[in-house]
Amino acid sequence: MPKKREKSKIKKHELYVIVGALALIGIMLLFIFLKPVVQRFFSKSFIRFDFSEEAISPIGPIGPISQALQGSFTELFSGVGWRNPINSTVHQDFKTLTISFSPAYEIEEISPIGPTPQPGSGQVSPIGDTVTIGSRTFTGVVKKSGEQYEGYLYEVVGGELQYLDIRCPTNDIGCPLFFSQYPGKIVLGSDGVSKIFLLYAAYEGKAFEINLTTSNVVNIGTSDVLNIDDYSAIFNARVTEEGKIDPQVFYKDKTWWISSRPASAEVFDPEASDRRATAGTAKLLRLRDGMANDLTESVRSGIARIATQINAEDFTFTAAPAPESNAIYLIFGTSDVPNIDGNVRTSDVQTFRLRDLGFERGGELIWESLRLNAWEGEIVRGRFTRIDDSNIRTSDVVSKTSDVPAIKYFLSNDGGRHWVEAELNKFIDFETKGGDFRWSAELYPSSDQYRSPWIKVIGVEYYIVRK
């Protein structure tokens, strides 16, 4: 007879394993369903509890943010793609990449005024390129070293060049003032008293203001250095017209003016194999208190309105200091122009006076961004990671007649309905609910019409919990 098959029995230890597995599954399911409830409970208490393996490490006093993604944004003010056009009221300079109060000036035609002012008058750098302060003469020298160019400043003493020890650390001799990967030339200007402005005209320029009175000007071999301010960031390819300008520099009433010679002027191109010249571009740049405004286009349109005989498309001029305070001359036309038959005639010269009025004045101005976060979700935290500005900030209420122009910064997580004042590298944990991260700045005027707060670069960072 066939054997009866006995029923298999579950051994005791196997039963424990099965029960344990079921219990573990039940706990995991319970954890999943209760996790949001527990998180909400702890988020309302003074302790934050983190359930996420990808949670951000604790930052600040409130502890970690669970399941948050980090985003960042940098504003260089090179365009308007991230500017809120409705609420933003500041002036944006698309050449110097700066926001500030709007430059203010008046233009009037003053021809004829007798002898035409010449670029060599006042403290304009003569073609050479040297400048004189008192009995001392200075010049700049560019040397090519390998694949880069080095710039130096020398003093001319007894017909010989003596190197000025500007940036060398102790015991070093002959350190360059600057390095550049682009060929160019040095142009100098001075205030006639103690300051030299050195501009390296290249695809991307270099620029330095050197104060001769804050340290002894010494010969080779010493470790003393001169006081120097670096303005190179201003002279980007937009300002230098990709190296096509042939600039001249002069100083007038605490302001450096940089203009280029007329477009018909020849500019030496050291990279051209046949040593051809390239055409310069007319330009007018105003630099004061660490910021610059490119006035070229606005001056072009202003003169075109009052002088219809000047073709705005052929806008060439020469700039020179005017004897009046805060004023310069803009000279159009040239003398000794050859006719088609080869004879020389004197062309019509038109001269305009530009009165520099500093900046337009009024109440505070605003820059506001558009939404910066790419992801959908709740913005829970934000901060400013970089602020390049006029270094004048305050957390106090600023009056409209303050002697110090100031800037206040804000962050919002709900599209600008609520703003929280913020400082550099200090986190803001938003109390409002929102998924639209923005930043804004308020620029306050000064009682000094020639001063304006300005901003060049802003970096922000935000943390978002995805939906």
Write the pLDDT tens digit of every residue in 289-309: 888 999 998 888 888 788 766
80 forms bridges with which residues in the sheet? none
Domain boundary assignment for the chain: 68-100+362-466, 103-359
| CA separation for the pair 106, 356 (Å, rounded) | 7
> Residue range 226-251: average pLDDT?
89
| Residue-wise DSSP of 174-203 | ---SEEESS--EEEEEE-SSSEEEEEEESS
**pLDDT score at 231:** 93
**pLDDT score at 441:** 97
Percent of the chain with pLDDT over 70: 67
**pLDDT score at 20:** 74
Burial 302-313 (b: 16+ CB within 10 A, else e): bbeeebeebeee
Whether the model pTM is above 0.85: no
Q: Does 173 score more than 80 pLDDT?
A: no
- Residue 28 pLDDT class (50, 70, 90 cuts): confident
Could you tell me which of 84, 83, 51 has the C-alpha nearest to residue 68? 51
Residue 241 region by backbone torsions, left for phi larger than 0, else alpha for psi between -120 and 50, else beta = left
Q: How far is the CA of 204 from the CAs of 112, 182, 232, 238, 258, in angstroms?
A: 38, 7, 9, 8, 15
- Residue 122 pLDDT class (50, 70, 90 cuts): very low
Q: How far is the CA of 175 from the CAs of 150, 180, 196, in angstroms?
A: 9, 14, 18
**pLDDT score at 316:** 73
Decide: 137 and 195 in contact? Cβ < 8 Å: no
Q: Does 161 score more than 50 pLDDT?
A: yes
- Residue 46 pLDDT class (50, 70, 90 cuts): very low
**pLDDT score at 30:** 65
Decide: 197 and 251 in contact? Cβ < 8 Å: yes
Q: Does 50 score more than 50 pLDDT?
A: no
Helices (H), 269-397: 296-306
Q: Does 207 score more than 60 pLDDT?
A: yes
**pLDDT score at 377:** 94
**pLDDT score at 318:** 83
Q: Does 125 score more than 80 pLDDT?
A: no
- Residue 111 pLDDT class (50, 70, 90 cuts): low
Q: Higher pLDDT residue, 294 or 26?
A: 294
Decide: 24 and 32 in contact? Cβ < 8 Å: no
- 346-370 confidence digits (pLDDT tens): 456 788 999 999 999 888 999 999 9
Burial 102-134 (b: 16+ CB within 10 A, else e): bbebebeeebeeeebbebeebbbbeeebebebe
Q: Does 168 score more than 90 pLDDT?
A: no
**pLDDT score at 273:** 43
| CA separation for the pair 39, 55 (Å, rounded) | 13
Q: Higher pLDDT residue, 359 or 220?
A: 359
Would you tell me how many other CB atoms lie within 10 Å of the CB of residue 290?
14
Contacts of 308 (CB under 8 A, 6+ apart): none
DSSP 82: T
| CA separation for the pair 441, 375 (Å, rounded) | 24
Q: What is the greatest pairwise CA distance in the chain?
A: 140
Could you tell me which of 191, 117, 84 has the C-alpha nearest to residue 410? 84
DSSP 8: P
- Residue 33 pLDDT class (50, 70, 90 cuts): low
Highest average pLDDT, of 183-197, 263-277, 347-361, comes from 183-197
Would you tell me how many other CB atoms lie within 10 Å of the CB of residue 368?
22
- Residue 312 pLDDT class (50, 70, 90 cuts): low
- Residue 212 pLDDT class (50, 70, 90 cuts): confident
- Residue 162 pLDDT class (50, 70, 90 cuts): confident
Contacts of 253 (CB under 8 A, 6+ apart): 325, 326, 356
**pLDDT score at 317:** 79
Contacts of 400 (CB under 8 A, 6+ apart): 363, 364, 444, 445
Amino acid 218 reads V
**pLDDT score at 423:** 94
Decide: 333 and 314 in contact? Cβ < 8 Å: no
> Residue range 214-241: average pLDDT?
70
- Residue 6 pLDDT class (50, 70, 90 cuts): very low
Helices (H), 352-426: none
Percent of the chain with pLDDT over 90: 44
Q: Does 56 score more than 50 pLDDT?
A: no
Q: Higher pLDDT residue, 175 or 336?
A: 175
Burial class (CB within 10 angstroms; exposed 0-12, middle 13-18, buried 19+) of 3: exposed
| CA separation for the pair 246, 258 (Å, rounded) | 10
| CA separation for the pair 264, 282 (Å, rounded) | 9
> Residue range 314-332: average pLDDT?
85
Amino acid 117 reads P
Decide: 284 and 293 in contact? Cβ < 8 Å: no
Contacts of 273 (CB under 8 A, 6+ apart): none
Q: Higher pLDDT residue, 108 or 64?
A: 108
**pLDDT score at 404:** 55
**pLDDT score at 305:** 82
As given in the structure block, the two tokens for residue 155 are 């003093």
Q: Does an H or E element contain 25, and which?
A: helix 12-43
Q: Does 209 score more than 90 pLDDT?
A: yes
- 69-83 confidence digits (pLDDT tens): 999 999 999 999 999
Highest average pLDDT, of 34-43, 91-100, 291-300, 313-322, comes from 91-100
151 forms bridges with which residues in the sheet? 142, 178
> Residue range 329-349: average pLDDT?
56
| CA separation for the pair 264, 246 (Å, rounded) | 11
Q: Among positive and negative, which fits the CA dihedral 60, 64, 66, 70? A: positive
Ranges 70-74, 94-98, 143-147: which has the least confidence: 143-147
Residue found under tokens 């200075």: 138
Does the domain formed by 68-100+362-466 have CATH 1.10.30?
Answer: no
